[in-house]
Amino acid sequence: MKSLYQFIISSFQFLQPVLKFLSPKMRLFVEGRTNWKTKLQAQVSEHDQVIWFHAASLGEYEQAVPVIVALKQTHPNYKIAVSFFSPSGYEVKKKDSKLDIVTYLPLDTRKNAREFLDILNPGVAFFIKYEIWPNLMDVLSTRQIKSYLISGLFRPEQLYFRPMGKFMAEALSRFDHLFVQNKESLSLLKNHGFDQASISGDTRYDRVSAQLGMDNQLSFMDDFTASGQLTVVFGSTWPEDLSIALDAINKAPKDIRIVIAPHQINATQIQKLKKDIRKKVICYSEMESQELQDYEVLIVDTIGLLTKIYSYANIAYVGGGMGSSGLHNILEPAAFGIPILIGKHYDKFPEAEMLRRLGGVFSVDSENEFEEVFNKFITDKTFREKSGQICGHFVNAEAGATQKIMSVISF
């Protein structure tokens, strides 16, 4: 299987000039890695001391942030490097002034791994959740560079635990320590001989808890919500999510303020959404000098504002659960003590299942189900506030992963 893996990675690298025409995202994926060595060398000097974090995308990067903040305090002379696999992470963070080095991770060939580490020369490496690359782990181990997995999540069906996945199990064994989210992951690892593991919890709880102490004010949200009784935020939505919510949105009382923040900013889809909404609707990009209090629905056609927008919500719907893209981050609204609706697909998200059992999150799979829960949240203040309190208390109780991680790592 390892030979097949090497063949697939090498073939993908060879075919990149053609693959970039498949989609705009693939073009960014390919072109972002063009001349990656030159781009990385421009950010690193020979005498730099570097702490390296690798994340698949923006969501995984958010899991790294609490540890990055902690290490900046304990190791102020080190540069923080962050690499991304996906354009959706790199494109957002490539100019972030809080990060010293931002790069794409080159494809996982042995040659790329050696050259990447030759340039970056990190003192320690942190990988987030699922990001485990066999060739890279081999080279890190050979060079005796310590490596840690943060917020790992494991299931029996994963390749590490199957006969054909021996090469992936070997990559997993290269880590100095595996910090996992729950006892199920730890038991699975221990049963397969991975003893360098412990439960830290999920660093996202620390990340979203810290947001409570930040300035979350947005002047346009102050204006938009000024004359409303309740604010409902639909965050990171896909068309499949809105298909079950649209009828309820159109039937909502006029004094309800509704914010829709699509996961992908697609002009065609946004124009269609505007036409489908039978209320006074405006896009963020159209606001300028408009009186936002005159509108009932605000479509946020930009990125980077959703976390702060959640702080204004009384009710939240978090997207991704009605399609195959995967449920987005429910912990951001949960931290603010907001009751949450999600779609039907959430089985790979333990926090969603736990909050569903507790009564803070409600899963719906049809227009009728959505409308029933949505209307109950709107009309029943006691029910709404109790569900929100469950979410807020849950996040507060689960925080603390960063402290556990910091007590173990050394380099």
- Residues taking part in catalysis: 60
210 membership: H or E segment, kind and range = helix 203-211
Structure tokens at 248: 């309820």
Residue 7, CA distances (Å) to 2, 3, 140, 200, 280 in order: 9, 6, 21, 36, 55
Spatial distance between the Cα atoms of 148 and 151, rounded to a whole number of angstroms = 10
Cα end-to-end distance, the chain, whole Å: 33
Spatial distance between the Cα atoms of 346 and 322, rounded to a whole number of angstroms = 9
Helices in 282-330 by DSSP H: which ranges?
306-310
Structure tokens at 292: 């936002």
Which of 124, 101, 81, 109 has the alpha carbon at shortest distance from 12?
A: 109
Angle between helices 381-398 and 350-358 (to 10 degrees): 140
Structure tokens at 112: 């790329």
CA dihedral 261, 342, 93, 17 (to 10 degrees): -100
The Cβ-side half-sphere exposure at 95, using a 13 Å CA radius, reads: 2
